[in-house]
A and B are shown apart, each in its own frame.
Chain A
């Protein structure tokens, strides 16, 4: 047993062997990989459910399934994508694996709690599966579970919201772990302005996870209580308020969209500088904008309710606040693009994915402006325009950040490199398919086709057919990308310590890292994105190519 052995060969705690070395581990890196396995499974499943929905819509009338199945399928697709992929995705996998390393430490603050969170995640998923097969089957309420429909519905709403409740616990505890790790475990010589941006983004996210999740947990409990005891909190006949549910739901679920996107922005803030071999532009502005989004984003929830019948005063206030939250996101986009100015840019699969992210995320943000304005929102609310908008943000944004992160940190996590060419092909196909899939939906929405529609009026057929075609391209692209990554396990091209020329700490430790991450006490740079040293080193070697 030498100190340089990778964590794959060093169980933690040390006495564990075989499967137990994984299932009972306290090692943040193993847990990150265990999340990767589970989350990847859910993503692929939900992706194919999405394709089924899309296929059904390709022609008018019944194509491959009936209305009831369609409705349950989009609910299942939405629930999986939200609670089992986009919310946990980047923090649970890459956050777990890289937060401690970027902070110069050997694990998270509560390693056992970390393991417990993983089990909660698995149980939550298990509950979702069980609710598919028992009783009257999976709910068809949409992932929003609006009352009174969700209370009167005969399907398994109770079990499904219980699953979401458990998943919320998992997310909250992960947040708690990250906040404490950030403050208590960080290398003593690493000041606040020396922390990598990915770590900052996880920190901002963690606070939202801790503060907002309890609201949705309570709301889900209320649904269950209503279903069994008919208290009437949301029922005007019994003195309840029919809009209360929507307020409670979005009070969590709007902040949750920042839980989905901020870590993705953190990933992009790492990738752009490395491949430009140049400092991130406006480090402080990016840190502040993450915190600003986390705070201000908690105050805009009712922009999902402009047509709900709430007062016009609320519409005014929430529309105004929504526009103010748009600014920090715009600042980030400008900073990323400026980072490339006078850089020394090397094209790689993670960079290509990051560029596609910037493009798609910008469309997501800009279509958000249409939704934020009161008058225009009324027309496009709950139409295909909204569906396209949120796929641009969650899929074009977080989804592509997730793919970029996979390609960026793959060599570090597994110690092997993948082939670039198939990765480029897969990424480009995914990007092109994406546009074919969602641009028609933007137009369909402007033309007035509602969402959650199993069938539609004849004038919407062409758009839906095109979107279906895009959906297939999109999936072919993603499958190419994933198969290429998986093939790297067969090819086993070894990855060096620092394949990209990075400056943050994960690029100073072996690939894959040893169980305690660092072989020597880490050297903390004054500024985490100082590439002048990297460039000089390269010039001394007098040549191109990845650093040793």
Chain B
């Protein structure tokens, strides 16, 4: 399972249970309001407690919550465990653009290019205030902090272009701090990497 699948599975699990719970609560609530309306049910019963029921509805949600925690955590572990053969790119955030530096010192602005089929590790840092590197298609996000390196990784499994956005408010042009990820074939990438940056 790729990290993306892991995270999506956690989404479906948590959202699915939530929808069922919400539906249940709402239906029961509306049903009671209609069924026990005063014109049909003038005298209320005097029920104050039911310890058995209360214990059940404390314990069962606790178990459900713990299961959500576990599935959430294991998907997080997937996002943090970088494969050994990952290619590394340095990412520098600044007001208001993204800089990408490759290991042959090639530098690009707002354009991250990687070969398909590789795991890519991004070493992220900031030149000024906080920013956050967000690549929604790969479910990754991590803050760029000056003086405190952070990282994220993704597996470039499909050719294509993907959006990169800044998600930590960084000033007036925060929403314009977007970049593109381009996943291209191996050979094209090798040629691109050797080309002089202009």
Q: Is A bound to B? A: yes
Contact surface of A with B, Cβ cutoff 8 Å: 67-68, 71, 140-142, 146, 148-149, 152, 235-237, 242-243, 276-285, 307-309, 312, 315-316, 319-320, 323-324, 326-327, 330-331, 333-335, 337-338, 340-347, 355, 358-359, 362-363, 366-367, 369-370, 372-379, 381-383, 446-448, 450-457, 527, 529-532, 535, 539, 544
Kindly identify, within residues 17 to 49 of chain B, every residue whose CB is under 8 Å from any CB belonging to chain A.
18, 21-22, 25-26, 28-29, 32-33, 36-39, 41-49
Return chain A residues, CB-CB under 8 Å to B173: 67
User: A316-B73, A376-B14, A450-B167 are contacts. A149–B129 as well, Cβ < 8 Å?
Assistant: yes
Complex interface: chain A residues within 8 A of B140 (CB): 378
A333 to B24, CA, bound (A): 12
Chain A nearest CB, measured from B7 CB (Å) = 5
- Known contacts A341-B47, A344-B38, A373-B72: A378-B14 contact under CB 8 Å: no
Please, how many angstroms separate the alpha-carbon atoms of A316 and B80 in the complex? Answer: 12
Give the residue of A146, A327, A341, A355 whose beta carbon is less than 8 angstroms from that of B169.
Answer: A146
Q: B174: which A residues are within 8 A, CB to CB?
A: 71, 452-454
Query: What 18 new A-B contacts, CB under 8 Å, besides A355-B33, A372-B68, A529-B48?
Result: A148-B130, A148-B146, A149-B129, A149-B130, A242-B130, A277-B38, A281-B49, A320-B69, A331-B58, A331-B61, A340-B36, A342-B44, A345-B32, A345-B37, A378-B7, A378-B76, A448-B136, A457-B178
User: Least Cβ distance of A450 to chain B in Å?
Assistant: 4
Tell whether A379 pairs with B65 under 8 Å between CB atoms, given A279-B48, A343-B32, A343-B36.
no
Q: How far is the CA of A62 from the CA of B76 in the complex (A)?
A: 37
A-B contact pairs, 24 of them (CB 8 A): A71-B172, A148-B129, A237-B147, A279-B47, A280-B48, A282-B48, A282-B50, A308-B145, A309-B142, A324-B65, A330-B57, A333-B25, A341-B32, A342-B44, A343-B36, A344-B42, A362-B21, A375-B139, A376-B14, A383-B167, A457-B163, A457-B165, A457-B178, A531-B44
Contact between A375 and B74, CB atoms less than 8 A apart = yes
Query: What residues of B have a CB within 8 angstroms of the CB of A372 in the complex?
Result: 68-69, 72
Contacts of A307 in B (CB 8 A): 132, 141-143, 167
From known contacts A344-B44, A358-B29, A363-B22, infer whether A375 and B72 are also in contact, taking CB-CB under 8 Å.
yes
Taking the closest CB of chain B, its distance from the CB of A214, in whole angstroms, is: 25
Question: Complex Cα distance A468/B136, Å?
Answer: 24
Total interface residues on B, using CB and 8 Å?
Answer: 79
A278 and B79 contacting across the interface, CB-CB below 8 Å = no
Complex contact A374–B76 (CB within 8 A): yes
A312 touches B80 (CB 8 A): yes
Contact A276 B78 (CB under 8 A): no
6 tightest Cβ-Cβ pairs between the two chains A and B: A373-B72, A236-B147, A448-B136, A375-B75, A374-B76, A366-B18
Interface residue B91 (Cβ < 8 Å from any Cβ of A): no
Bound Cα distance from A451 to B167, whole angstroms: 7
Select which of A71, A242, A531 is within 8 A of B147 by beta carbon: A242
- B75-100 contact mask (Cβ, 8 Å, vs A): 1 or 0: 11011100000000000000000000
| Given A324-B65, A450-B134, A376 and B72 contact (CB-CB distance below 8 Å) | yes
**A470 to B140 alpha-carbon distance, docked (Å):** 30
Contact of B11 with A by CB under 8 A: yes
Distance in Å: Cβ of B34 to nearest Cβ of chain A: 9
Could you mark each residue 104-147 of chain B with 1 if its beta carbon is under 8 Å from any beta carbon of chain A, else 0? 00000000000000000000000011101010110111110111
Chain A residues with Cβ below 8 Å from B54 are 282, 285, 331, 335
**In the assembled complex, B66 has its CB within 8 A of some CB on chain A:** yes
Q: In the complex, what distance in Å separates the CA atom of A142 from the CA atom of B168?
A: 11
- In this complex, what residue of A is CB-closest to B124? A309
Is there contact, CB below 8 Å, between B38 and A544? yes
